[in-house]
Structure 1
Amino acid sequence: MSFAIVAKLLAILAAVGLGWAAGRSKLLGEGDPARVLANAAFYLFVPALLVRTTARLDTHALPWSLLAAFFVPVLGLILLVYLWQRPRRTSAAEPSVKAITAGFGNTLQVGIPLAAGVFGETGLAIHITVVSLHALVLLILLTLLVELDLAREQPSRSLAATLAQTARNTVIHPVVLPVVVGLSWNATGWPLPAVLDEALQTLGTAVVPLCLTLIGLSLAQYGWPSAWRGMLGLVLVKLLVQPALVLVCAHWGFGLTGLPLAVIVMMGALPIGSNALIFAQRYRSLEAETTAATVLSTVAYVATAPLWLALLARYFPWSGGA
């Protein structure tokens, strides 16, 4: 792994550390600053990013076979984790929180420097193409699952009422509704007005630093959970099982080789993204455990990423790169 990528990981951990220090010193005041920041991210900054991304997305230029090679195994893994956890849940949201922890990668803060540093401009272009749909696809699926579980918890509800509430809560949601708005604007073919585009971009740029700070704040507020070993399995699933599934599905299922294969396998190998914590905060489930899993996976990635790069270089070599 190049020094630039290691430096990026250290910078991420430093930002998390600053958030932890702010939480421990009560710099942001008493009360629950982590939840305030999570709500700001979930209801303001992330929606702005999603609206702008979907409104500007060139759907005609997307390589659908490559996207399927990545999303089919990733979504399949998320569903398997969700189904495995449902009989063992202690709350309605717990299976979905564990599923997003096992499946949602840090495609921005870690993924972009990795793609640029290892695969060069061509690989970075492939990576960004997948990133353009990553949060949209995964968050919509997980929102549907968790809202369905929450609706089922309501006593004396018919199946029709349960499905109606699930559909309403899924669409009128701070993740899904911005996607609907953005895609609707996209369908008109009109460009975003310059002022609106600038405002959305400004709000969207706050997502990354806010989310990294939130991880540290949550770690300070909730502490390291005593039952963190239960999340260790999800960390291993994210760092080892997901990239293995992407490799098998993409290469032997979709026939990918070379650079496209290497890029999406390394996307699967990324550590847990901060959106998992925002999701846990939103549904008030496993906040401490998700925080610990995010930090642990980022640290462990320093060891697992070189292993995957070595395997790909040995058995599935690519040309080009930095």
Structure 2
Amino acid sequence: MATSVLLKLLAMGLIVALGWGAARLRWLGPGDVARTLSNAAFYLFVPALLFRTASRMDFSAMPWSALAVFFVPTWAMMLAVVVWNQRRVAHASPAAPGVRAMTACFGNSVQLGIPVAAAVLGEAGLAIHLTIVSLHALTLLTLMTAQVELALARDRARQGLADGHLGRLLRDTARATVIHPVVLPIIAGLLVNASGIGVPSLIDELLVQLGQAVVPLCLVLLGVSLNQYGFVFTGRGMAALVMVKLMVMPAVVLVVGHWVFGLEALPLTVVVMAAALPSGSNPLLFAQRYQVLEAETTSAITVSTLVFVLTAPFWLAVVAWVVGA
């Protein structure tokens, strides 16, 4: 890969190491520091970023075929991971399958994806990648929030803690999904976007400042979580999540993109490389939010990011071979 991408990976690793060291030396204070940072990200910084992104999207300029090639297989893969975990794996929490689906399918499209696209694919490739970024968190977080909230509602109904009637179950799930620190700012941003009234300059600057903190905060959180939960290799479970993210997802997107939608050259390379990105930090926020699989998620993010150095050149070569064949 290009030197700039390797430098980006190294810088990210150093920030994670700083978070680990700060937690190790107790610079961040006693108690559950990881959850405190996660709450700050989930309730303050991420909502600001999502609201601003949703309010500024230009739907008329979207490359819809490339977006369909990326998102339809990604959505299908997430639901497949959820169903597999629900049927084959015993979990302490009904939220666990959704957290695993996020880990296996939610890529690091900003911190790593943007520099990869800029360094390897150029300005035209970056433009396509940015359209994926604009919908990435909005759609995937919303989909999995709805899935997890429905699973939790069903579990409460089974325990007799809530009304099990289907209509009320769906109503409660919809309420919990919408009134959520991730989904609510997305809906609000889309409403502002549709209204055409725009965001006042002062508010927009506030959102910019809050949004800029998301990347470093999440990387520090990853380091803190590594210290707090330790590096846990859970055997086939964690390895499967990494394999799905780095190998299965880009393979499925490549097949759908080239042989179903007929994408060629640059658009195909962009969507495959977006699918091949390692797990992002949002799955850890998700795990923290629902207090399940924090150690496994942290470890899977770390491993997939390290292995990406090897798998990224592989997928670039594969796409070049497919396009040239």
Shorter-chain TM range is: over 0.9
Structure 2 counterpart of 1:4: 4
Could you tell which deviates more after superposition, 225-234 or 43-52?
Answer: 225-234
Task: Specify the SS of the correspondent of 1:245.
Answer: helix
Shift of 1:227: 2.3
Question: Residue type matched to 2:224 in 1?
Answer: L
% identity of equivalent residues: 57
Task: Specify the SS of the correspondent of 1:30.
Answer: coil
Q: Unaligned regions of 5+ residues in structure 2, if any?
A: none
Contact 2:63/2:128 (8 A) holds in 1: no
1:153 to 130, 148, 155: 155
- Going from structure 1 to structure 2, the CA distance change for 1:223 and 1:229 (only over 3 Å counts) comes to farther
Q: Deviations over 1:129-159 (max 9, x none)?
A: 1110000010000000000000001133222
The answer to whether the aligner puts 1:256 opposite 2:263 as a matched pair is: yes
Q: What do you get for the CA RMSD once the two structures are aligned?
A: 1.2
Structure 2 counterpart of 1:320: none
Mapped to 2, the partners of 1:229 and 1:25 lie a distance apart of 33
Contact 2:99/2:293 (8 A) holds in 1: yes
Contact 1:106/1:274 (8 A) holds in 2: yes
What is the TM-score of this pair, normalised by structure 1?
Answer: 0.97
Structure 1 counterpart of 2:180: 173
Task: Specify the SS of the correspondent of 1:149.
Answer: helix
Mapped to 2, the partners of 1:226 and 1:54 lie a distance apart of 37
2:115 to 91, 113, 116: 113
Q: How many residues align?
A: 318
Shift of 1:226: 5.3
Mapped to 1, the partners of 2:180 and 2:223 lie a distance apart of 26
Shift of 1:314: 2.4
Contact 1:262/1:316 (8 A) holds in 2: no
Task: Specify the SS of the correspondent of 1:231.
Answer: helix
Structure 2 counterpart of 1:281: 288
Mapped to 1, the partners of 2:20 and 2:316 lie a distance apart of 32
Q: Deviations over 1:34-85 (max 9, x none)?
A: 1000001011100000110011111122122221111011111111001000
Mapped to 1, the partners of 2:137 and 2:235 lie a distance apart of 25
Alignment of 1:225-240 (within 5 A): 225=232, 227=234, 229-240=236-247
Structure 2 counterpart of 1:37: 37
Question: Residue type matched to 2:217 in 1?
Answer: L
The answer to whether the aligner puts 1:206 opposite 2:213 as a matched pair is: yes
Alignment of 1:16-165 (within 5 A): 16-87=16-87, 88-90=89-91, 91-154=93-156, 155-156=159-160, 157-165=164-172
Contact 1:273/1:294 (8 A) holds in 2: yes
Structure 2 counterpart of 1:304: 311
Mapped to 1, the partners of 2:72 and 2:42 lie a distance apart of 26
Mapped to 1, the partners of 2:227 and 2:56 lie a distance apart of 38
Could you tell which deviates more after superposition, 154-163 or 210-219?
Answer: 154-163
Shift of 1:25: 0.8
Mapped to 2, the partners of 1:228 and 1:299 lie a distance apart of 17
Shift of 1:230: 1.9
Q: Unaligned regions of 5+ residues in structure 1, if any?
A: 318-322
Mapped to 1, the partners of 2:233 and 2:117 lie a distance apart of 35
Mapped to 1, the partners of 2:263 and 2:204 lie a distance apart of 36
Task: Specify the SS of the correspondent of 1:285.
Answer: coil
Mapped to 1, the partners of 2:234 and 2:80 lie a distance apart of 22
Structure 2 counterpart of 1:186: 193
Task: Specify the SS of the correspondent of 2:277.
Answer: coil
Could you tell which deviates more after superposition, 149-158 or 202-211?
Answer: 149-158
Mapped to 2, the partners of 1:228 and 1:207 lie a distance apart of 31
